[in-house]
Amino acid sequence: MTPAVFGIAGLRLTADEKAFFRDSDPAGYIIFGRNIDSKAQLRTLTDELRALHGRDDVAILIDQEGGRVARMQPPLWPKFPAGEIFDKLYDIAPATAIEAARLNAQAIAVTLNEVGITVDCHPLLDVRQPDADNVIGDRALGSEPLRVAALGRAILDGLQRGGVVGVVKHLPGHGRTSVDTHKALPTVTASDAELELDIAPFRTLSKAPMGMTGHLLFTAWDAETPSTLSKTVVQDIIRDRIGFDGLLFTDDLDMEALSGTVPERAERAQAAGCDIALNCWAKMDDMTGIAERLAPMSEKTQQRLDDAMATIAGVSVAEAEEELASLLARRDGLMAAVA
């Protein structure tokens, strides 16, 4: 199996994609708005991906946080709020905020489960910082680490109850970013002591089954290499200091924060200790280059993948529309306090 997650160009697999995916056998796939036209079409696409490999538990990812990061949009699906709303509710009633976040995540999972998506790149555990770039902004669950961890734990639980694996992001922390990593590489000059605040939520939720890196340069840890490509950051900070031993995805390797070709970036990320290279844009040259450059999936990575997907084994969502309505109604009742 190739330790990569690939994007898909359109609404259905092309003949070239089918041939390449069968041959390369990637760890999974990621869905974007360009892949979505209707519920039936999306379910057909995800079924097609599973049929390629004969694996019911193939990881099919999406970014469905709510707010401005939501690939599945109204009117086909509900509009879900950004993380900031739960932070505001926490100011008033912490236990209510935690339960509202769980119900909201479970409702998201029901919508994903219905169309065959098994992994949500959510929740953000990035601690919001003043004066940082708005790429995180209202997506964050707060500026206090214990609060972020509590809400993040509720989201992971809600997703799992709905039959979806959550991915904590962006290790080791994206809250201090000065620029959007889609466009440039941020340099974080905070001291090692100051960065304790950033890693605290990830340490609290270090047993999460899946995580994702962020592409930032942390001068306190590695002044030369972005975190995704840095063995020091991946091994010493993420694996050892934070204690995260789940499946570690890179963030999208096509972002401008990184230099070199996309296949070169994938190879460097693997050498640094990332489990899975994430390549979102379905460019065949990049995907074939990644498959050629990456070493086959290690036994450790395979075990992490299997363990993560096993957390949702046997979860079924019967009468999804009725359950969804109930979850949303209960969530909305709790959130009325900050309406």
- For position 140, which CATH number holds? 3.20.20.300
CA 82 to each of CA 65, 137, 167, 248: distance values in angstroms, whole numbers, following the listed order: 7, 10, 16, 24
- Phi, psi angles (nearest 5°) of residue 203: -65, -40
CA 311 to each of CA 74, 164, 166, 210: distance values in angstroms, whole numbers, following the listed order: 29, 9, 10, 11
Mean pLDDT (whole number) for 235-246? 98
Residue 278 has pLDDT above 80, yes or no: yes
The single-letter code of the amino acid at 35 is N
Residue 179 has pLDDT above 90, yes or no: no
E strand or H helix at 155: helix 145-161
Nearest to 244 by CA among 272, 278, 282, 203: 203
Which pLDDT value is given to residue 315?
Answer: 76
Percent of the chain with pLDDT over 70: 98
Alpha-carbon gap, residue 65 to 46, rounded angstroms: 20
Alpha-carbon gap, residue 257 to 214, rounded angstroms: 10
Report pLDDT digits (tens) over 50-83: 999 888 899 999 999 999 999 999 999 999 999 9
Mean pLDDT (whole number) for 125-132? 91
Residue 296 has pLDDT above 60, yes or no: yes
Rg of the Cα atoms in the chain: 19
Question: Residue 241: which pLDDT band, with cuts at 50, 70 and 90?
Answer: very high
The structural domain count of the chain equals: 1
- Print the domain residue range for 131: 2-338
Least confident of 47-56, 270-279, 288-297: 47-56
Tokens of 173: 């922390």
Question: Residue 43: which pLDDT band, with cuts at 50, 70 and 90?
Answer: very high
Tokens of 270: 């693997």
Alpha-carbon gap, residue 87 to 333, rounded angstroms: 16
Report pLDDT digits (tens) over 309-324: 999 987 776 555 678 9
Contact (Cβ atoms closer than 8 angstroms) between residue 255 and residue 181: yes
> Model pTM?
0.96
Parallel, antiparallel, or unpaired for β 59-62 and 64-66?
unpaired
Which pLDDT value is given to residue 174?
Answer: 93
Which pLDDT value is given to residue 273?
Answer: 98
Mean pLDDT (whole number) for 187-212? 97
Which pLDDT value is given to residue 133?
Answer: 79
Question: Residue 130: which pLDDT band, with cuts at 50, 70 and 90?
Answer: confident
Mean pLDDT (whole number) for 297-304? 98
Angle between helices 284-293 and 262-272 (to 10 degrees): 30
The single-letter code of the amino acid at 310 is A
Percent of the chain with pLDDT over 90: 91
Alpha-carbon gap, residue 22 to 102, rounded angstroms: 37
Residue 139 has pLDDT above 90, yes or no: yes
CA 338 to each of CA 38, 174, 181, 234: distance values in angstroms, whole numbers, following the listed order: 33, 27, 32, 39
Alpha-helical segments (H) within 228-319: 231, 262-272, 284-293, 299-310
Contact (Cβ atoms closer than 8 angstroms) between residue 73 and residue 294: no
Mean pLDDT (whole number) for 244-270? 97
Alpha-carbon gap, residue 215 to 257, rounded angstroms: 6
Report pLDDT digits (tens) over 78-121: 999 999 999 999 999 999 999 999 999 999 999 999 999 999 99
Parallel, antiparallel, or unpaired for β 64-66 and 69-70?
antiparallel
Q: Return the active site residues.
A: 182, 251
CA 11 to each of CA 20, 39, 79, 288: distance values in angstroms, whole numbers, following the listed order: 17, 11, 22, 21
The single-letter code of the amino acid at 281 is W
Residue 209 has pLDDT above 70, yes or no: yes
Average pLDDT over all residues of the chain: 95
